[in-house]
Amino acid sequence: MLCQNRQHRLTEVPVLTSHFLSELISFLDGLPEPRIVMSADYRIIAANAAYTREFGGGRELAGRACYEVSHRFNVPCDQAGESCPLKLSLEAGEPQRVLHLHHTPRGEEHVLVETSPIRDETGEIAYFVETMRLVRQASSRVATSGLVGRSAAFSSMLEKMMRVAPSDAAVLLLGETGTGKELVAHAIHEASAREEGPFVAVDCAGMTETLFEAELFGYEKGAFTGATHRKQGLVEAASGGTLFLDEIGELPLSLQVKLLRLLETGTYRRVGGLDWLPADFRLITATHRDLAAMVAAESFRRDLYFRINTFPIRTPALHERSSDIPLLAESLLARVDRKPGRHFTAAALGWLAAQRFSGNIRELRNLIERASLLADGDAIDVTHLLEMTDPPLYLPVEPGGAAGFQVDALIDLETLERRYLKWSRQIHGGDMEALARQLGISTRTLYRKLERVN
Ligand SMILES: Nc1ncnc2c1ncn2[C@@H]1O[C@H](COP(=O)(O)OP(=O)(O)OP(=O)(O)O)[C@@H](O)[C@H]1O
């Protein structure tokens, strides 16, 4: 491993002699953030007190492999399908950041890992300093508030959120309804330097011209009939914090001009006022619409689109992260249930994971709330969920489905199985265990197969 590194001779990387290595280690020990020094063969040379406490549970870590401590892997991360920041920074010759799920004494947690390379006396990159920052805005375990998720689609979104959060760049959140855009906007705010400032959310849907101006910019006393006192606008309320404009795609063209003026000049005027006031907010916008198509159709201004779209982030639909459904379901149950400590049966979690929720997490949350009201005992089962399911959750009936299963052309066996499963799920009446028995397979296999049906 070390011989391969001989090609890396980079002047910008600091040099580390053996004398300074021990100095570096004692220096890191005094720093509050968890840090380790590693050799190029993934061995931990030293861990500071914060790392030993937060990631090592107080145990000695020197000599152990980083991938074994943080992932319980027995091969380096990149050989186990994960990105390896050490390898990336060795190749690039400069610091690299990645988001990983790390084992900690508290369970798995999202961690931002920054790895910086260091040269030895001979000029080779031989050491690395790794700094860990726990991502407090998202949980990979059941949580009673905030974002939860651990799937690849969720982690990739979270990584983008954490990259953009510290900057003041305008973020555009694109995603279907109910995918958590408002929660994501709030998490970006919380991870930003404006965290102590206000987070002000504005729904742009249904905004009329007068309402928009009065709401956003406020008004002076006497500006119009009924304006009996000066009123602060939402732009002013968001001062020092974040302004979140939800459903930006619903804003009529006439109001898009006003918003553009605010963003371009950084100033605004209260309705009925004379003075231009400075605005101080970080902008996050969101829409479920295809804004680029709206620009092409000239129903959304191109210049405004470029202004708000400095950094786009897509919030994945629930079917793109169905492996998160059990975790989301448990977390949502803890949030909506009036009787604490209840749980889903394994069959209920499997059933939920096999559904396709067109209304995404909001629809899942509604279903869980209804089922929790229906269930009397400690466990919520498939029957409670089925009774409370909206008809659109079921997939459309295949041609001939209601009457009986039929195919009218030669099709491959895999498609045949999928269609048959879809049809049998629609007609069997909801008892998945009974259906599995009738099909001669285990309930587990049935759920696995049904995942492919959606
Ligand atoms: N990752 C998540 N973890 C836990 N709860 C979530 C997550 N994402 C969304 N939710 C919950 O799902 C519901 C819908 O989320 P939210 O209102 O943020 O979605 P949205 O995309 O803004 O929807 P819309 O486009 O309709 O405004 C909320 O109750 C929210 O708390």
Query: Can you say whether the dihedral through the CA atoms of 56, 187, 269, 307 is positive or negative?
Result: positive
Report whether 364 contacts 332 (CB < 8 A).
Answer: yes
pLDDT tier, 31 (very low <50, low <70, confident <90, very high otherwise): confident
Contact status, residue 99 vs residue 113, Cβ threshold 8 Å: yes
Alpha helices (runs of H) in 318-442, residue ranges in sequence order: 325-336, 346-353, 360-374, 382-388, 413-427, 432-439
Q: How confident is the model at residue 104 (pLDDT cuts 50, 70, 90)?
A: confident
177 lines ligand 1 (CB under 6 A): yes
Q: What is the pLDDT of residues 203-233, one digit of tens each?
A: 998 788 778 889 999 998 877 777 788 889 9
Share of residues in the chain with pLDDT > 90 (%): 49
Residue 14's pLDDT is 53
Domains in the chain and their CATH numbers? 3-134 (3.30.450.20), 165-314 (3.40.50.300), 319-453 (1.10.8.60)
Average pLDDT score over the chain: 85
Protein residue with its CA nearest to atom 16 in ligand 1: 180
Question: CA 368, CA 146: separation in Å to the nearest integer?
Answer: 17
- Residue 159 has a pLDDT of 95
> Is ligand 1 within 6 A of the CB of residue 182?
yes
Tell me how far apart the alpha carbons of residues 21 and 35 are, in angstroms, rounded to a whole number.
Answer: 14
In eight-state DSSP terms, residue 15 is B
Buried b (16+ CB within 10 A) or exposed e, 138-170: bbbebeeeebbbbbebbbebbbbbbebbeeeeb
Ligand 1 pocket member 110 (CB < 6 A): no
Asked if residue 359 has its Cβ within 6 Å of ligand 1, the reply is: no
pTM of this structure? 0.80
Distance between Cα 362 and ligand 1 center (Å): 6
pLDDT value of position 290: 93
Q: How confident is the model at residue 3 (pLDDT cuts 50, 70, 90)?
A: very low
Cα separation values, 401 from 10, 415, 418, Å:
66, 15, 13
DSSP string computed for 44-93: EEEE-HHHHHHTSTT---TTSBHHHHHH--SS-GGGGTS--HHHHHHHHS
Task: Report which of 438, 245, 442, 237 is spatially closest to residue 350, judged by C-alpha positions.
Answer: 442
Euclidean distance between CA atoms 349 and 35, whole angstroms: 38
What's residue 454's pLDDT?
59
Does residue 147 have its Cβ closer than 6 Å to ligand 1?
A: yes
In this prediction, residue 15 carries a pLDDT of: 54
